[in-house]
Structure 1
Amino acid sequence: MSETAVDTAAAAEKKVTLREELTARRKAMTNDLIDERGLKVQSRFLASPYYDKARTVALYAPIRGEVPTRDILIAALQDEKIVCYPLSHVHGRILAFRAIKSESELEPGRLGVREPTNSSDLIPVDQIDLFVVPGLGFSPDGKRLGRGGGYYDATLKAASARSRRVGLAFNDQIVQALPTTSDDVDMDQIVTESQTLRGLYRSFDFLDT
């Protein structure tokens, strides 16, 4: 077995352990605590230059203790940004997105996650400026640990080079170091209820690059 294969296998094993630990942390949070801390995360995100510069924003509908995004949706619609959400039906590993103009256009999909109705406009991945990304864990340097499906990583790799990605998390989800492989995609910034972590921290003027 090659050294690269050994490293990949070791990273995968560490990820399994971390997913179990971080999932347990999320399950320990009450709904009230998620809502309370979630308001602070969203407020901090809305004050970021990445949000300010973006014209088309991809959000997610939270599940299983993920950071809420409703305040971001309301603010983005008021700011006349294009807001889109991923669909549960995917072709390959790249997510498809539809835009919405009202929260009422989100309905439970086949996996129980709220998503846009079929009447909403499809938004090509390469037209999205800013991806707001969920995760089980993040590191201060921008590494992300997802649930293991790899859909967001594949989607972010297929996105435009000018796009940016911001991870939303609670403080308990921050891990100083995360194992990664070549399939993983780093965040430009991670926002929690009490801090903004730099990650890749690429230019805010991404729309002009």
Structure 2
Amino acid sequence: MPLNLADIRLEYSKKELSPDDCLPDAVAQFELWLHEAIAAEVIEPTAMHIATVDEHGRPSARIVLLKGVESGQLVFYTNYHSRKGRQLAANPYIAVTFFWPELERQVRIEGKVQPVAPEVSDEYFASRPYTSRIGAWASEQSSEIDGKSVLVTRAATFGLKHPLNVPRPPHWGGYAIVPDRVEFWQGRPSRLHDRVLYTLQEDAGWRRSRLAP
């Protein structure tokens, strides 16, 4: 039977949001909502949908995990040679979405990325489980492979090479997202959702405004 997607509807009514409710700083407001998502035991509260664009203007998107909010920047880690890494090298702008359905909330963030300092990547890499560190060496992310056995063999090879201490691969590290546009969305009844937009001003302050749903 065909799916009747048009009849799938939810009425949002848990909370309200206005610019006056929000903190002056967009990243501080994001941290507040993130803490509330974690406290509410949202499934994967740090999962973020990131969109990048290649040198031809073609976008692609995927889910990655947020690993830090530091000095007004959002940090995640990946393989610099992956598809997203290559796209960010060609075009360093990014769009990010967090969706927390349990709270009827969404956050959209746009900005520019820059690689974090090598020592920051080193510190985070050292905190990862041993198998994850080996996996970073074993996986040539986004490249075609003949089968899963290729990964297993490479993991075993690097496991033998690094039985205890696993150094960070030079092709693996962090990106810091420097936001210049942040939108907070709170679901409301009758699709009259609350949307508060922060835009970064030339003096590095944030301007808050309400958007029509």
Instruction: Identify whether the pair has TM-score above 0.5, normalized to the shorter chain.
Output: no
| Structure with more of its chain in strand, by fraction | 2
Where relative contact order (Cα < 8 A, 6+ residues apart) is larger, the structure is 2
Question: Which structure has the bigger radius of gyration?
Answer: 2
TM-score (norm 1): 0.26
TM-score (norm 2): 0.26
